[in-house]
Amino acid sequence: MGNFEEVLEKAYQESYLPFIEVLQSHPQIKVSLHYSGVLYDWLEKTHPDLLERVAKMVVLGQIEPLTGAYYEPILPFIPDSDKIGQIESFSLRLQERFGRRPRGMWLAERVWEPDLPKPLAQAGIDYTFIDDIHFKAAGLREEELLGYYLTEEEGYLLKLFPISRKLRYLIPFAPKVQEVIDYLRSLATPSGERLIVLGDDGEKFGLWPETYEWVYQNGWLNDFFTALEENRDWIRMWSSEEWMRENESLGRVYLPTSAYQEMAEWALPAKSIPLYEELITRFKNGGELEWFEGFLRGGFHRNFLVKYPEANLMHKRMLRVSEKIARLSDEHGGLLMDEAKRLLYQAQCNCAYWHGIFGGLYLPHLRRAVYNRLIEAELITDELSHTKAHWLDKEIADFDRDGNPEILIDSPVINLYLAPHRGGSLFELDCRKRGLNLLDVLTRREEGYHREIPSLKEEETQLETKSIHERIKTKEENLEECLIFDRYHRASLIDHFLPPQTTLREFSQLEYEELGDFISEPYAHTMNREGNSFSVVLVRTGKVKIQGVDLPLLLKKRLKLVEGEALVEIGYELLNLSSMPIEALFGFEFNLSPQIRGGEGPGESKDIDLLKMEDKESGLRVYFRLEQPGSLWQFPIFTVSQSEKGFERILQANNLFFHWHISFRPNELWKTNLTIEIANAYSF
């Protein structure tokens, strides 16, 4: 969800279409095929002929269609009602197209938790596929995974087919097809039949780097299918349902929480990844990895929500919208609620909630798509819940589930979310009619793979086609210069006190001294309702270090919203509580979504009282008006992340730091005001 049209078209031309063409030329080869709902909808709109070809192959028994949750969520991340709703919606869609309701499903990212059999069975699912490492973690050995198993939750039964990791790496990356055939022969027995399953991303057949030439132009896939046909005296292709009709299960099993091995590594904290890799290397070098890999587990996939607070904020936003829809579903039916559910389901697409070898969370356009759907879905529910055109709702709740309350203010025009315990910061500001979170940014943090970057050169090449899990490559030079890691969460309304001589370069490179203790420490808060307006006052008595002495200072910031208006009024008051004068640069920073740009661009502006920023994609304009002219430092925030094509630099935020050189005596009060106005807030 949220991918660019040209990316989908490239995937179609280099992977989806040629795979079906080669498969169709080998009618004896059978596959189970799953298109995500996102891809299915796109194909139906742009290339319906491909789906017609697939439908004919389904009738001939060459393709077994698999369902799934419509928009490919990681199922344990979403409520059970949404699990069932997504699966049933997509199963019905496939039944209409292919004339049969699929009994099997593809489990997004093969993320498994033991309570999944119940909602899957309730959604009409009979079987699914998960990695062999899941079974090895339960103590089963390689030779015990040549079939399928039964599992259950509260009596709800589900059949599980193990996916061979060995085949995932051999196909299509074995230098010679015969290597795959030799491996299959090593599993064959004179009597009886054994089943081995390959299940993996279709994009590895053409879209992954260098694979189009390897798989199609050099003919690897055609040669592989030919080899299977030539060895049909001892290799037989089965559909899942055929195998289950003719073969009993291998028994009952209960699997622990798990994901495929690479994802389990990515879910670890960055500092733990080298230790895990060292452990794996020791066993691999000793020739013992095959025996013990099931017990060498990495991290738990839910910890992506700890590793990346931005993913957690999106996730909890999604849960909040899901709860609103669930509450209203009984009393409000019809097309509006159906649309709200569809938008919610789209926002549950897994890509933007984690990061591994693919960009995922690091790609701003994926996060933008999630927020867009969540904001639009919530707007539908809120309009159904309110009878007045103009309203303001407030809620104090532990939104991000960290044990501390946040302040959530909603209106038909904007949403505004504050974290009093994190420096009184502003972490979400939505233009609701546009479906935009203006503060959708990503903090710069250390990743386990960053240690590899200094040794790489631009466009470093590999001698052979490899899986993306084995490739190390960079798309540009000098990326190590961008490895700057933030000291705090890059939210907005973050309050700084700096030495007067601090420069823009020092501030942007995190080479400055922070004199105050206001960035991450808690603020007290009060809220007031005055007619058609609502205000939040955040207060902290902190310290500012002047000449080595901690001086007390009272900081108060007040945010005011008015019903029906797309603006926020912000007032600051600083009171010197010490017996000494305080001289410093005082300012507050905003970190805007990378698509929102403007002003004079990166650099320093003095005596500024108005700044215009614009979202080029939507045409939305944001005006910052300062009552007291000040200075502005503006600079981009880049991260360095890995993708299937290599390491790359990505713009994650545009930082605005409004500041003043203040010098005030004991008991002196300093004040300023700022207004943020969102223009074009109502048009789509």
Catalytic residues: 109, 201
Judge if the upstream peptide bond of residue 172 is cis by omega within 30 degrees of 0.
yes
- Give residues with Cβ within 8 angstroms of 675, minimum separation 6: 567, 568, 569, 570, 623, 624, 625, 627
Which residue do the tokens 């008991």 mark?
667
Question: Structure tokens of 99?
Answer: 């004339």
Q: What does the buried/exposed string (b/e) look like for 517-545 if buried means 16 or more CB atoms within 10 Å of the residue's CB?
A: bbbeeebebeeeeeeeebbbbbbbebbbb
Question: Please, are residues 336 and 384 in contact by the beta-carbon 8 Å criterion?
Answer: yes
DSSP string, 158-199: EEEEEEPHHHHHHTTT-SSHHHHHHHHHHH--SSS----B--
The helix (H) or strand (E) run that includes residue 68 is none
Distance CA 308, CA 313 (A): 9
Question: Please, are residues 81 and 119 in contact by the beta-carbon 8 Å criterion?
Answer: no
Within 10 angstroms of residue 472's Cβ, the number of other Cβ atoms is: 15
**Beta strands in 319-461, from DSSP E residues, in sequence order:** 393-397, 406-410, 414-419, 425-431, 436-437
Query: What's the gap between Cα 45 and its chain centre?
Result: 26
* Selection from 156, 162, 112, 113 nearest residue 135 by Cα: 162
* Selection from 684, 679, 676 nearest residue 439 by Cα: 676
Distance CA 278, CA 409 (A): 48
Question: Please, are residues 575 and 592 in contact by the beta-carbon 8 Å criterion?
Answer: no
Phi, psi of 524 (to 5 degrees): -75, 155
Question: Please, are residues 567 and 675 in contact by the beta-carbon 8 Å criterion?
Answer: yes
- Bridge pairing between strands 596-598 and 156-163: unpaired
Distance CA 64, CA 148 (A): 17
Question: Please, are residues 599 and 632 in contact by the beta-carbon 8 Å criterion?
Answer: yes
Edge to edge, the sheet with strand 414-419 lists 393-397, 406-410, 414-419, 425-431, 436-437
Distance CA 124, CA 428 (A): 38
Distance CA 8, CA 36 (A): 12
Question: Please, are residues 594 and 506 in contact by the beta-carbon 8 Å criterion?
Answer: no
In one letter, which amino acid is 115? D
Sign of the C-alpha dihedral, residues 369, 374, 375, 377?
A: positive
Residue 506, burial from CB neighbour count under 10 angstroms (0-12, 13-18, 19+): middle
Half-sphere exposure of 416 (CA within 13 A, CB side): 29
